[in-house]
Homo-oligomer: A and B are copies of this chain.
Amino acid sequence: MKGKKKLEIDVLNNVPNRVIKCLDQGFVSFVDTMPRLVPEEQKTSDFAIVQAARVSYGNGTKTVNEDRGLLRYLMRHTHTTPFEMVEFKFHMKMPIFVARQIVRHRMASLNEVSGRYSVLKEEFYIPEMENVKKQSVLNKQGGDETLESKEAEIYLNKLKDFSDSSYDFYKENLVKEVSREQARMVLPVNLYTEWYWKIDLKNLLHFLCLRCDAHAQYETRVFADAILELITPIVPLTIEAWNDYQEYRGAIKLTRLEIDALKEAFKGEVKVPHINSDNKREKQEWKEKAAKLGLVVE
A279 to chain B, nearest CB (A): 6
Would you call A253 and B243 a contact (CB within 8 A)? no
- Mask for A90-130, Cβ within 8 A of B = 1, else 0? 01000111001001101101111111111111000101000
Query: Are B56's CB and A181's CB within 8 A?
Result: no
Q: Is A207 an interface residue (CB 8 A)?
A: no
Give the number of times this chain occurs in the complex, counting copies: 4
Q: Is the interface of A mostly helix, strand, loop or mixed?
A: mixed
A81 contact set on B, CB distance < 8 A: 109-111
**A43 interfacial by beta-carbon distance below 8 Å:** no
Most chain B CB inside 10 Å of its own CB: which residue of A134, A154, A181: A181
Residues of B within 8 A of A180 (CB): 135, 142
CB-based nearest B residue for A99: B100
A194 touches B55 (CB 8 A): yes
Nearest residue, chain B, Cβ from A191: B189
The answer, among B87, B174, B293, for a CB contact under 8 Å with A259, is B293
Q: How far is the CA of A53 from the CA of B118 in the complex (A)?
A: 13
Query: Is A25 in the interface zone, CB < 8 Å from B?
Result: no
Chain B residue numbers with a CB within 8 Å of A176 are 147, 151, 154-155
- Closest B residue by C-beta to A289: B254
Partner of A162, one of B143, B169, B178: B169
Chain B residue, CB-CB nearest to A109: B84
The interface residues of chain B lying within 8 Å CB-to-CB of A188 are 166, 185-189
B118 touches A57 (CB 8 A): yes
Check A33 for interface membership: any CB of B closer than 8 A.
yes
